Amino acid sequence: MPDSTPKRPRPLSPNIQIYRPQLTSVLSIVNRITGVILSVSAVVLVIWLTAAATDPQAYAAVQGAIASWIGQIMLFGCTFAFFLHLCGGIRHLVWDTVHGFELRSIYASGWAVVTASVVLTVAAWVASLVLAG
């Protein structure tokens, strides 16, 4: 096989440290980070469901942990991550149909994702707090 080792170090591709963050690049990595956060949340979901299946005491223990202030902050973060990943994912599905690749469209859909995620997160928590009484 031919030796593909470079004779001298070649310049690396654009370094993220010297690039000004843009909406496009930030939302790209946000979709990944929220995916990882939601993977961890999925583990909690299974624990919560298993506790509900076990007995009222186990369920109360998990509910208590979620109801604590740190649990509520994490749940709020999970809600925001969920809506960001949902809206960002729908944006990706639209892109998969080869639509919305113009620079204007990309920024419009990007800000739409951010706005919709904030609105949906706030709406979900307001609805939850109203129903809780």
Partner 1 sequence: MDRQHTRSPLARASGLGSAKAGVEHWWAERVSAVALVPLTLWFVASIIAHTGADHATFIAWLRTPLATILMILPLIALFHHTALGLQVIIEDYVHSGAKFAAVIAVRLGCFALACAGIVAALRIAFSG
Contact status, residue 101 vs residue 95, Cβ threshold 8 Å: yes
Q: Is 90 in the site for partner 1 (CB under 8 A)?
A: yes
Distance between CA atoms of residues 69 and 125, nearest Å: 14
What value does the CA radius of gyration of the chain take, rounded to a whole number of Å?
21
Positions in 33-52 near partner 1 (CB under 8 A): 35-36, 38-39, 42-43, 45-46, 49-50, 52
Q: Is 71 in the site for partner 1 (CB under 8 A)?
A: no
Of 69, 71, 50, the closest CA to residue 59 belongs to 50
* Residues near partner 1 (CB under 8 A): 1, 32, 35-36, 38-39, 42-43, 45-46, 49-50, 52-53, 56, 59-60, 79, 82, 86, 89-90, 92-93, 96, 124, 127-129, 131-133
